[in-house]
Chain A
Amino acid sequence: MLVYERKKVEYHGRLGRIVALGTALGRFAGPLLLRMAPLIFLAATVGVILFSWIVAHFVNPIVPWLIRDIIAITGIILFVSLVSMIGIWGERKISGRLQSRLGPMRTGGWHGWAQSLADGLKFVQKEDLIPRSADRLMFRLAPYIALVPAIAAYAAIPFGVGWVYRGMDASLLFVLAMLGIEVLGVILAGWASNNKWGLYGAMREACQLVSYEIPMCMSLLVPVMTVGSIDLLELGKAQSGGWFDWLIFRNPFIFLSFFSYYIASLASCKRAPFDLPEGESELVAGFHTEYSGFRFTIFFFAEYAAMFIVSALATIIFLGGWNSPFGDLTGGPLWFTAKSGMLIFIQMWVRWTLPRIRIDQVMHACVKYLLPFTMLLFVGSSLWQLFISQTYVAFALFLRYVLGAFALGILGIVMVAFYVVWAVFGYMNSPLMVGRLVRKHLPGA
């Protein structure tokens, strides 16, 4: 048993005065802030509106790019903070509802809405612990490697037509790349804390994410192939109209690929039932076992930011993005946020409903079921595309003569049905820990 003995830190002189001042200020201002929070929010909203009006009329004509960039980046960071604040509170309320309890009720008045703010204040005040045997530089660096790409991904996500900070030709790939870098921070955190639970969590994260990235990207490829662009703006614009124009209802393969994307995205932002990297029943807290205080908060921020990113991708690519379900209505960003929020709610619902699955089941589910399924969907969707293609009319006609009406689509559907039967058969005879997976040389076999 290793017990860390640390010297008690006492502040003297100027530092001591600063600490005393800060403590006094916190004791005085903390309750006041919580009590006045609705007023502060109102004042901030009015202030932002006034500020943007002043900028639009006086500053913008002089240096257009500077203010635009500053406002956009600040807005993105504020949005991420708001998403994680509401997300953490919502998660606790929803889990409470699903488990027949109330969740946070006290802080801030109405249904404990300021719980996340209070938690944030508490986390900032906590002692910042670094284990003695940890790699100090990497331990400190890891949370930022997790958070910065998650925020950077928002730069390419369009919230509506004209509501994107940097529209680019390969914006879908950019968002996926940023999600891919985020993994590195988590792995680094687990390794640098030099703790066996942390290392196990990091290893699980690495193997889970590297394998689930493939079905995720492949199931995104199915609708992308239908539209013919990897620009998120183009993808959103291709679905204007009512709900029946959304890509998810374009053909049956895209409908199925939405679900495979959703499952893979749950794994990619390590939500239950794939939250093995932090499985608290086995690994204490997984990769962030050794993290405390503000660094721990940063990991939380990164997780909720990533949750919104994958939901936003699903919204833009499958669910019509900023287009309203009833024809052309205004308020694009609101529709977009509402749909993404709905998907995040489903993520939480799934998390508090399903039990966590084992790591070997996670890998089996990816390599044996999800990956072949997405490949079948890819093939089926390309056959469907060729059959009803407007660009290759001659080829479509040829196919129609040779194979009869919708034969190719039916072929794809038969393939998917065969796959489902095969998967159910495989699940019935699935390898259990007491069965085929047991090796003779291991103890307990």
Chain B
Amino acid sequence: MIKPLFFYIFALSSVAAGVAIIASTNIVRMAYWLIGMLLSVAGLYFLQGAYFLGVIQIIVYAGGVAVLMVFGVMLTSQRVAAQLRPRRWEVLWLLVTAAMLLTGIVATLLDARWSPEEAAASNNVADFGIHLLGKFVGPFELASILLLIALLGAAYLARPKVPTVKPEDTPK
């Protein structure tokens, strides 16, 4: 009795937060609604018993990506630059893209054969490790190489563009 109730709470809050992302014009608020949506989805994972997946969702997205996003966005002013309003033609092609995406998702969902019984969520962290370093070691290593490249790229972009001063050059 209590489980469907919590399902509806999490599902409704994730949908509401998703709508709020679109409806709000302030970019920091958008980021926080996004965090709310990610947390609600993590709640859905917890409800299904997939604790590891939910926790990883919180650590990676809410704790890592979203903090960095907020950090970047916060440096822009609250009043001047952060008001986002799309132009007419932007609205048009965004609508077309969204409609195509929605049709695809709905078609896939209608086509999918849902099994009524609960999927046995692999809750064991050890299983994750064994699969990651056993059957899926290739994609895992590829992903790590991709992340390494991204790290190097970020370091390259963030390098100091002004020549630094050596200690002996500084005026006494």
Using a CB–CB distance below 8 Å, which chain A residues touch chain B?
A: 135, 138, 168-170, 173-174, 176-178, 180-181, 183-184, 187-188, 191, 194, 199, 202-203, 206-207, 209-210, 213, 228-231, 432, 434-441, 445
Compute how far the CA of A202 lies from the CA of B74 in the bound complex, rounded to whole angstroms: 9
Contact residue among B35, B56, B163, B166 (Cβ-Cβ distance under 8 Å from A173): B56
User: Chain A residues with Cβ under 8 A from B28's Cβ?
Assistant: 135, 138, 191
Looking at the complex, which one of A174, A188, A435, A441 makes contact with B55 (CB distance below 8 Å)?
A174
Within 8 A of A (CB), among B45-67: 51-52, 55-56, 58-59, 62-64, 66-67
- Say yes or no: is B19 at the interface (Cβ < 8 Å to chain A): no
Collect the chain B residues with CB atoms within 8 Å of residue A441's CB. 162
Whether A183 lies near B52 (C-beta < 8 A) is: no
Give every chain B residue within 8 A of A176 (Cβ-Cβ).
59
Tell me, rounded to whole Å, the shortest Cβ–Cβ distance linking B73 to chain A: 9
Residue on A nearest B42 in the bound complex, by CB: A177
A selection of 14 A-B contacts at a CB cut-off of 8 Å is A135-B78, A168-B51, A169-B52, A178-B58, A180-B67, A184-B35, A184-B66, A191-B70, A207-B71, A213-B64, A434-B170, A436-B166, A439-B160, A445-B170
Neighbouring A residues of B70 by C-beta, 8 Å: 184, 187-188, 191, 206
Pairwise interchain contact B58-A177, C-beta atoms closer than 8 A: yes
Q: In the assembled complex, how far is the CB of residue A176 from the closest CB belonging to chain B, in whole angstroms?
A: 6
The verdict on B109 contacting chain A, using a C-beta distance below 8 Å, is no
**Which B residues are CB-close (under 8 A) to A181?**
39, 58, 62-63
Per-position 1/0 for B137-172, Cβ under 8 A of A: 000000000000000000000001011111100100
The answer to whether B167 and A435 have CB atoms under 8 Å apart is: yes
Cβ of B164: which chain A residues have Cβ within 8 Å of it? 436-439
B67 touches A173 (CB 8 A): no
Chain B residues in the interface with A (C-beta under 8 A): 26, 28-29, 32, 35, 39, 51-52, 55-56, 58-59, 62-64, 66-68, 70-71, 74-75, 78, 123-126, 160, 162-167, 170
Closest to A176 in B: B59
Contact A169 B124 (CB under 8 A): yes
CA A435 – CA B164 in complex, angstroms?
9
Q: Is A187 a contact partner of B74 (Cβ separation < 8 A)?
A: yes
Q: Is A138 a contact of B29 with CB atoms below 8 Å?
A: yes
Closest to A445 in B: B165
**A135 neighbours in B (Cβ, 8 Å):** 26, 28-29, 78
Contact A180 B58 (CB under 8 A): yes
| Chain B residues near A199 (CB-CB < 8 A) | 74
Shortest Cβ distance from residue B39 to the other chain A in the assembled complex, whole angstroms = 8
Q: A210 and B74 in contact (CB under 8 A), knowing A173-B55, A174-B51, A436-B166?
A: no
Question: Do A184 and B62 have beta carbons less than 8 Å apart?
Answer: yes
Chain A residue at minimal CB-CB distance from B56: A173
Do B67 and A187 touch across chains, with their CB atoms under 8 A apart?
yes
Residues from chain B with Cβ under 8 Å of A173 in the complex: 52, 55-56, 59
Using Cβ atoms and an 8 Å threshold, which residues of chain A touch B58?
177-178, 180-181
3 A-B pairs with the lowest CB-CB distances in the bound complex, closest first = A180-B63, A177-B58, A435-B167
Nearest-CB distance from A227 to chain B (Å)? 12
**A440-B63 contact in complex given A170-B51, A170-B125, A191-B28, C-beta closer than 8 Å:** no
Separation in Å of the B142 CB from the closest CB of chain A? 22
What's the Cα separation between A187 and B72 when bound, in Å? 12
Contacts known (A434-B170, A440-B165); A230 close to B71, Cβ less than 8 A: no
Extra pairs beyond A191-B78, A440-B163 (18, CB < 8 Å):
A135-B26, A135-B29, A138-B29, A169-B52, A177-B62, A180-B64, A181-B58, A181-B62, A184-B32, A187-B70, A191-B28, A191-B70, A206-B70, A210-B64, A432-B167, A436-B164, A436-B166, A437-B164
